[in-house]
Chain A
Amino acid sequence: MDNWKDFRRVFLTLATPGGLWMLTFFVIPMTFLFVLSFSSKAVVDGEISTTAYDYLNTFQNYSLSIGHDYLVLLWRAIWTSAIATLMCLILAYPLAMAVCFAPPRWRPVLLLLLILPFWINLLIRTYAMYSIFRTTGVVNQAFGLIGMGPYEMLNNTTAVIMGLIYVYLPFMVLPLYSTIEKLDRSYLEASLDLGASQVRTFVSVTWPLTLPGVITGIILVFIPCLGTFLTSDILGGPNNWNIGNAIQNQFLEANNWPFGAALSFILMYATFIALIIRTLFARRSKGVDA
């Protein structure tokens, strides 16, 4: 690596544009949000103003956020995300194994089939889920043919979890595929030759060696699930709101921006805690790098 002082002009040309962009459209807006989360609406002429704020004068937004109603939303976001992530892992692991152990000329096609939906617009996919599971949708028509239903399959937590799995499954497949692909098969052969069963080989050899890929997959799925807003809004309905929906509501409808800002920071802290846990795990496990 070169020292930046030896090529000052080159370095500044390369590092400044991205740095400035990030400063203007990320760091400064986030600082605004952070300041606002400790502020309250100003009282002008005895009335609560809709546009003016008293800055950095209160913790009430946070104490309100930690109040029961909103803690429930955060808690719901955490456990629905956890279930969706676990389901993705259970589904994606055998699929990634199958792709890696398929004949070489089939591998790219199989992998492409699993990740192609990722390229299709998230909203379109969620809408597609919504239209087949609604009470007059294709699934209920199929039930109708055998004289059952129609069932209300949307507006519940299961629908939200299904939607999350549908949307984020490719995020789990990719890191698992890239780890399992790099796995040295002679370890598996050795374990099987020495008399270990398939289950024992999986538990003692395959799983520990692919753990970094598993952890990356968990993070890649869990984090976007945590901040989800669209899936719970369209498939879950108002009774299944996550913290993401509460934030949106504070900004677009309830018009209490300081409170929305505090909720956002709570969501961000939850995300960072997840990332820190990932880093700790990644240091301890010494398998194949994802």
Chain B
Amino acid sequence: MSLYQDRLLTEGIRIIEKNAPSDSFNADYSALTFQDALFKRTQLAELRYQTAPVFNHLKKLVKLFCSVMCLFFFMIGATSVSTFLVSETGAQINFFWAIVLFIAPNIVSLVIWLFLYFKKNAINNTWVTNLSLLLITLLDKLHHKISNKHPHYIALFEYYFEHRFGHYLGRAQLSLISHLWWSCYLLGATLSLLLVLATHQVDFIWQTTILSEDVFVQLTQILTTVPHLLGINVPSASDVSNATIGLTNPLPLAQDSRVSWSNLLIFSLTIYALLPRLILMLFFQRAVKSQQKQFSLNLSLPYYVQLKSLLHPIVNTSFISDPDRVHNNQSTRGTNQTINRKGYEAILLVPKNAYPLAIELNHSRFQQANIHAAEYAVTRLINVVDSDSQQMALLQIQSGSVSNIVLYADLKRLPDRGWLSLVKKCHYQSNVQIYLVLLSEKPIEKNGPLSSRLQDWLEMAAQANITEQHITYIFDDLATIKTNEVENG
């Protein structure tokens, strides 16, 4: 399958999928470039959507339509010679008819074609498209009657027509068809004329009312210029003047005149009319093929942008390089059980000689802890924020043989393993009793973020063997401190 066909099928699949590309073709595209991945997907999608038979069918239809029209124009050309050019008796040919039927319309249509070709959008408008569409639809229904077989036939039909005769290929394609049909018409006429001249002995005359003899002679002389230069026997100016009704030459001269007129007529038809059309037709045939080869997909369309992220994701699937063997992919830790939170609301009984220790408190929470600790503690409150302060606090606890420790933590902050590790270190002896005071600037609202954080603290405290009876929280309000009065035991 050629690249062009591949791309056309990709477009057909886009038409079917509209703006939502399916990612259900589970192929591996990782080693491919986006273009290759796209075509691999096209091949897979084609198995499902079957767009190729529709496009092939449409291609055949267009071909059939063009061929029928070619035959039609060939017949028109062929019959016009015997109908208009040769007289009823078959003895005379009116040369003026040759100009009217073949030369002049050919030149006029070439001028119109040039105008349409170079005027942007001139041939893509309105009725041309729809009329052609209607004709092809009729032909399709007459020829195959399959228009309802494919569920997306109409959409594919419209796309294909737009593609062949629209913005991208339209000018070249329509030019090719126009030159092809003209070539058929002129070829039919030329062959028919050759047949007439081969089988009849005709005299050449000219008849016209609208042109004077001088103009006609001049016109004919223009046509004779090139064959004359090429050494072909063509009628002279006097021959043209004499070729009127009623004037016949003597026999030897008449035969000579017939040959020269025949030469001029055949030369004019083939060189001035048929040859340029054939050359243009071949040129546009190549142009169409070349444009088909250069046909590229508009990858900026939303469909392709989405497809790109599906087929060729910039981000590859994530992978685990150092797995957690201990917890085996369980993100949650701790007891995971809902702790009964009634306990912390009770009044906390703290022994008088308890050692206060703040953990990672900011300035305002530290102040709050200081006020609270002042009620019972004799030592200065240390705020553990780094390795040095932690070592200093642990040294004091161990050297002072402290058996009751009150930890102050910010309720808002997240309890972590670092905190747990410190609490475990505080348990340097089995008889050490640890109390936890959670500090907050606001009271805990039911189902609020602090409530959920409290749950985290309770879970972590359970891991540190701090019982609920030894946990309380205070918020930055004097009245609350009073209600959570500390009793110095």
Q: Do A and B come from one complex?
A: no
